[in-house]
Amino acid sequence: MSDTDITVRKTEKLYEGKAKILYATNRPDLLIQHFKDDATAFNGQKKGVIAHKGALNNAISSGIFERMEKEGIHTHFVARMGERDMLVRKVAIIPIEVVVRNIVAGSLAKRLGKPTGMNLSTPVLEFYYKDDKLGDPMINDYHIRAFGLATDEEMAHISGEALRINQWLINFFDSVGVQLVDYKLEFGRTEEGTVLLADEISPDGCRLWDKQSGEIMDKDRFRQDLGRITEAYEEMARRVSGAR
Ligand code: ADP
Ligand code: UDP
């Protein structure tokens, strides 16, 4: 859809989450994701604001989704609408957070007692039940099947897509001097039953390390009070927009 085709406007607010607000539009199949500056960590226990984060994450995520679409990766992205808004296809979010890991960090380092920074010989996929009240517990294919969270066919598709997305994202971030450590993906179903990559891909949900210096360029700067948080997001936005 080109900019001139967009006569879509926000109608009512449907949902306010920790980092984004979802609005209905005058088109039943389209929503607007509004990116906020609010930041949370440790399952909402730490709260704060990262100046300009909403605009930066919209720019980063839109830039990545746009490129993915060109590579035949199907996402909910329709268009970036101004600084903080993204027009997206409406989907029913599958309540599974898909975490993809290339390098040991975060909860994997803790759970398995492995050193942060260790390269994984093959990507690791993990599934978490998307439920803030429960703290997003880890689940496996059997839980997903037993509780009917997704069909086996959908899970085969999601796992395949996650690995294909991972290969594309590793190469993309590498081309802008960044190591893709780990990240979270969400998928959703359209009314016709097609499964699309949804939500966002930004430093809020990815661990990104500068290839040369090893500097942390993601929300871990907020989690660990490392300072220069907006600067890191700005640098990521600059690199994504400048990527070839
Ligand atoms: P949270 O719900 O974890 O606080 P956010 O603040 O990011 O997270 O809120 C955005 C919400 O919108 C998320 O729950 C996400 O699953 C949902 N979402 C993302 N993309 C779509 C979409 N295309 N259609 C419907 N819901 C979506
Ligand atoms: N992640 C996320 N949302 C969540 C949980 C994890 O975006 O609710 C991302 C997180 O930013 C990291 C990856 O998924 O890039 C793996 O997170 P991990 O399991 O290590 O948890 P953490 O230690 O970050 O809580």
Three-state SS string across 177-239, please?
Answer: CEEEEEEEEEEEECCCCCEEEECCCCCCCEEEEECCCCCECCCHHHHCCCCCHHHHHHHHHHH
Nearest CA to ligand 1 atom 8: 17
d(CA 83, CA 7): 17
Count of residues making up the chain: 244
If you compute the radius of gyration of the chain from its CA atoms, what whole number of angstroms results?
17
199 CA to centre of ligand 1 in angstroms = 6
Global pTM exceeds 0.95: yes
Nearest CA to ligand 2 atom 23: 106
User: Which domains does the chain show, CATH number per domain?
Assistant: 3-90 (3.30.200.20), 93-232 (3.30.470.20)
Q: Which residues line ligand 1 (CB under 6 A)?
A: 17-20, 22, 31, 33, 76, 88-91, 93, 186, 188, 198-199
Confidence of residue 111 (pLDDT cuts 50, 70, 90): very high
Percent of the chain with pLDDT over 90: 96
d(CA 117, CA 38): 28
Q: Is the CB of 41 within 6 Å of ligand 2?
A: no
6 CA to centre of ligand 2 in angstroms = 34
Q: How many CB atoms lie within 10 A of CB 149?
A: 17
CA distances to 20, 51, 207, 211 from 216, in Å: 23, 18, 8, 10
105 CA to centre of ligand 2 in angstroms = 9
Q: What pLDDT was estimated at residue 2?
A: 53
Interval 30-74: pLDDT, tens: 999 999 999 999 999 999 999 999 999 999 999 999 999 999 999
Q: Which of 8, 15, 74, 130 to mutate to test the pocket of ligand 1 (most atoms within 8 A of CB)?
A: 15
Interval 1-14: pLDDT, tens: 555 455 899 999 99
Q: Which of 173, 182, 220, 221 to mutate to test the pocket of ligand 2 (most atoms within 8 A of CB)?
A: 182
Q: What pLDDT was estimated at residue 4?
A: 45
Residue 188 · residue 94 · CB < 8 Å:
yes
> CA angle, 194 as apex, 162 and 138 as ends, to 5°?
40
* Pairing of the two strands 85-89 and 138-139: unpaired
Q: Which of 65, 76, 93, 98 to mutate to test the pocket of ligand 1 (most atoms within 8 A of CB)?
A: 93
